[in-house]
Chain A
Amino acid sequence: MLRVDVTKQLGEFSLEASFESQGRVTGLFGASGAGKTSLINMIAGLLRPDRGVIALDDETLDDTSKGVHLPPHRRRIGYVFQDARLFPHLNVRQNLDYGRRMNKLAEDAAQFARITDLLDIGSLLDRRPGKLSGGERQRVALGRALLSKPRLLLLDEPLGSLDEGRKEEILPYLVRLRDEGIPMVYVSHDAAELRQLATQIVMLKRGRVTALGGVKVLT
């Protein structure tokens, strides 16, 4: 369970959001500039709330009243950025392996094979990110986040930088992931995308939560 109750002032923009989600895939829906990215950056620990609480299952990640702020590297929350952010100096295999090495997890060849199969990236392992297409890059970024064994996966418009054809290419992989059972927070401004993926919706408008509930709130 994810519980968020935070406020954050960013220049002129104020974000005040409160929601709880039991859903497997929480869809964070809103126009650009609604504060979606700021909100998941706070869940990831990359941005500190001015006031409030963020808790995942039984663990408090942020609690400003108690001065609690768990740094990102200790949250075990995976993050797939809109722009992939693969490490340019590492090849695909090293990118995929990065989280495991940093968390000092044992090598798990079966898991590695399973994720690379799931995402169809087994043939790309020796390439550098600069030689990948946009869709391939995004799939590698997904694999990299998954292989760090996160307890929650954040996806910030993972299809946002792709054209229609490429979106159709990635979407089935995301559906497969959802059915794997890893809890996700999925950010998008595309209602159709969320209808296919999300099990619960948080609607955000100019920094405020305007609706909460099942996918039918999108209509």
Chain B
Amino acid sequence: MFEISPAEWTAILLSLRVAIVATLVATPFGIALAWLLARYEFWGKSVIDAVVHLPLVLPPVVTGYLLLLTFGRRGLVGAWLADNLGIVFAFRWTGAALACGIMSFPLLVRPIRLSIEAIDRRLEQAASTLGAPPWKVFGSVTLPLALPGVLAGMVLGFAKAIGEFGATITFVSNIPGETQTISSAIYSLIQTPDGDAAAGRLVVVSTVIAMGALIASEWFARRATKRLHGN
């Protein structure tokens, strides 16, 4: 029987909310960073590049713990944000979104960076001789040409965010309705007797979402090639 229970729905919807918010908030930062890395040589560039990729190679539990130390209630940044802006990450869904955003950031940035690097800069020169100041060149030529890469990065980042487990559970724990995403719900279910059927349903749901994301990402990549060749 494939009937999703209310508790499972809660986890699915929370996962979607966390992943969507994480992706949308991370994207502008991702574009800015991708552009910086694609276009400029500066002191410390390789350090920044390494830091961005760190979540990919660090054990997720380490990233989660570092987040807890930094953004927890008593963390350096966390305490300041809570006291001054009233923003709390610890044990909230927003903290899950932060963890997912950081874990998926390298996957978001990479396709954007590649698509910006692939743009023929002579088109941007042409735009400037037609009277476009640099920021308008970015908005009217660079960004539209990089758009399929931006969308591909968003889809990949979203897929990673929705499946994130280690950093999230370390940072914000596993609270049903607040921080229990699909992954942490599956984790709880397989430790419970008779939880197998429910865990199986969530496994199917997360597989479908991930597959959908990969297919969408491929589709955007194909469009990118087409767009750059002007057909």
Q: By the criterion CB–CB under 8 Å, are A148 and B122 in contact?
A: no
Task: Give the residues from 137 to 196 in chain B that come closer than 8 angstroms, CB to CB, to chain A.
Answer: 137, 140-141, 144-145
The CA of A74 and the CA of B132, in the complex, are separated in Å by 8
B83-91, B97-105, B223-231: which lies at the interface = B223-231
Question: In the complex the two chains form, is B129's CB within 8 Å of A72's CB?
Answer: yes
CB of A99 within 8 A of CB of B145, answer no
Interface stretch, picked from A15-23, A50-58, A86-94, A161-169, is A86-94
Does chain A have a CB within 8 A of B45? Answer: no
Q: How far is the CA of A77 from the CA of B128 in the complex (A)?
A: 10
Q: Report whether B227 and A88 are in contact in the complex, using a CB–CB cutoff of 8 Å.
A: yes
Q: Contacts A87-B123, A87-B141 known; A98 to B227 CB distance under 8 Å?
A: no
Q: Are B145 and A102 in contact (CB under 8 A)?
A: no
Query: Given A73-B133, A148-B131: A85 and B126 within 8 A (CB)?
Result: yes
Q: Is A27 an interface residue (CB 8 A)?
A: no
Interface assignment of A81: CB less than 8 Å from any CB of chain B: yes
A103 and B129 contact, CB distance less than 8 A:
no
Verify B129–A79 contact, CB threshold 8 A. yes
Q: Which residues of B contact A45 (CB under 8 A)?
A: 128-129
Task: Please indicate which of the listed interface residues B120, B125, B127, B230 has the most CB atoms of chain A within 10 Å of its own CB.
Answer: B230
Question: Does A191 interact with chain B (Cβ within 8 Å)?
Answer: no
B136 at the interface (CB under 8 A from A): yes
> Cβ of A103: which chain B residues have Cβ within 8 Å of it?
130-131
Number of A-B contacts (CB under 8 A): 78
Q: Are B228 and A88 touching (Cβ within 8 A)?
A: yes
Q: Are B230 and A73 in contact (CB under 8 A)?
A: no
**Docked complex Cα distance between A167 and B145 (Å):** 31
State whether B229 touches A78 (Cβ < 8 A): no
Q: Is A176 an interface residue (CB 8 A)?
A: no
CA distance A128 to B145 in the complex (A): 14
| Tier of interface size on chain B | 20 to 34
Could you say which of A46, A128, A130, A131 contacts B129, with CB atoms under 8 Å apart? A46
Given contacts A85-B122, A85-B123, A85-B126, contact A73 B231 (CB under 8 A): no
Chain B, residue nearest A86 (CB): B230
Residues of A within 8 A of B123 (CB): 85, 87-88
Q: How far is the CA of A133 from the CA of B126 in the complex (A)?
A: 20
Q: A102-B140, A103-B131, A148-B131 are in contact. Are A128 and B230 (CB under 8 A)?
A: yes
CB distance from B131 to the nearest CB of A (A): 4
Contacts of A206 in B (CB 8 A): none
In the complex, whether A44 has a CB less than 8 A from a CB of chain B is yes
Cβ–Cβ < 8 Å partners of A79 in chain B = 126, 129
- Residues of B within 8 Å of A78, CB to CB, are 129-130
Contacts of A122-141 to chain B: CB distance below 8 A: 128-131
A30–B126 CA distance with the chains assembled, in angstroms: 24
- Cβ contacts under 8 Å, A76 to chain B: 131
A45 and B131 CA atoms in complex are apart in Å by 12
Query: With contacts A89-B145, A89-B227, A129-B230 known, is A148 near B126, CB below 8 A?
Result: no
Q: CB < 8 Å: which of A74, A77, A81, A129 contacts B122?
A: A81
Q: Given A73-B132, A73-B133, A102-B130, decide whether A83 and B122 contact each other with a Cβ distance below 8 A.
A: yes
Question: Which residues of chain B from 11 to 27 have any CB-CB distance to chain A below 8 Å in the complex?
Answer: none
Query: Could you say which of A77, A102, A128 contacts B127, with CB atoms under 8 Å apart?
Result: A102
* Alpha-carbon separation in the docked complex, A72 to B122 (Å): 13
Q: How far is the CA of A71 from the CA of B135 in the complex (A)?
A: 13
In the complex, the chain A residue whose C-beta lies closest to that of B122 is: A85
Q: What 0/1 pattern do residues 106 to 132 of B give for CB contact below 8 A with A?
A: 000000000000001011011111111
Partner of B231, one of A83, A87, A128: A128
A36 — which chain B residues lie within 8 A by C-beta?
none
Residues in B lying within 8 Å of A, measured CB to CB: 120, 122-123, 125-134, 136-137, 140-141, 144-145, 227-231
List 13 interface pairs A-B (beta carbons < 8 Å), by A numbering. A45-B128, A78-B130, A79-B129, A81-B126, A88-B145, A89-B144, A89-B145, A98-B127, A102-B130, A102-B133, A144-B130, A145-B130, A148-B131
